[in-house]
Amino acid sequence: MKIIPAIDIMDGKCVRLTQGDFSRQKMYSNNPVEVAKSFEDAGFERLHLVDLDGAKKGAIQNISVLKNITDATSLQVDFGGGIKSAEDIAAVLENGAALVTIGSLAVKQPALLAGWIKIYGTKKFFIGADVYDEKIKIRGWLEDGGIDIFTFLSNMKNIGATQFFCTDIKKDGAMQGPSIELYKKMIQHFDGISLTASGGVTTLNDLHLLQKIGCSGAIVGKAIYEQTISLTELSTF
């Protein structure tokens, strides 16, 4: 199981939200590049980079942070937040991202995503599902997506998507453990799915549980910044 540290960006700074609430944010660093370098120095190869401003506004806002990180490190970065056009896809890839994270657009315009998958290949896309009581939320978790997680995943698999991550909004930033039962249900429902867990990871035991149920990866954010798991422990998991 691959461990993927996370950086969430607001106003160019590294922050974390609690349960997706933009009013409940905590700033951890005003230098995301240095944070990314610390991950690389600890031995990580991947980075989950989220443009929270872009997700909220529906248009990319922090692509310069992506560029600065990919110039300064060799991390394989997946970047998302506000992506809505072919020009956005091209810009994200040109600025160094290894994968493009798609969330809201996958819900609202799956046919458009299907076209991009045909052009760039499925390995370039990391499909995010943000859920609250198994219902999809979009636009930085601010709007109801009008679809449940299982229907959404079925739709995505039908258009050729293969790499998914799921965030349980209730768990995100709450430091109360991940949604083991939800992920177990998803993996059982979709045999062979490549599912990365996101939200709630607090201890090494959480990671062992996610590995046991078959998750292919885990995104870790607040646990790193609050130091409930050390970078050394994570990098040797």
What share of the chain has pLDDT > 70, as a percent?
Answer: 95
pLDDT of residue 219: 96
Q: How confident is the model at residue 104 (pLDDT cuts 50, 70, 90)?
A: confident
Q: How confident is the model at residue 172 (pLDDT cuts 50, 70, 90)?
A: confident
Give 2-235's CATH code, choosing from 3.40.50.10470, 1.10.10.10, 1.10.1370.30, 3.20.20.70.
Answer: 3.20.20.70
Rounded to two decimals, what is the model's pTM? 0.93
The DSSP code sequence of 2-71 is: EEEEEEEEETTEEEEEETTEEEEEEEEES-HHHHHHHHHHTT--EEEEEEHHHHHHTS---HHHHHHHHH
Q: How confident is the model at residue 207 (pLDDT cuts 50, 70, 90)?
A: very high
Q: For the residues 47-63, what does the mean pLDDT come to?
A: 93
Indicate if the pLDDT at residue 87 is higher than 90: yes
Domain-wise residue ranges, the chain: 2-235
Indicate if the pLDDT at residue 139 is higher than 80: no
pLDDT of residue 23: 67
Q: How confident is the model at residue 52 (pLDDT cuts 50, 70, 90)?
A: very high
Whether the Cβ atoms of residue 72 and residue 49 lie closer than 8 Å to each other: no
Residues classed as catalytic: 8, 130
Residue 125 CB-density burial (10 A; 0-12 exposed, 13-18 middle, 19+ buried): buried
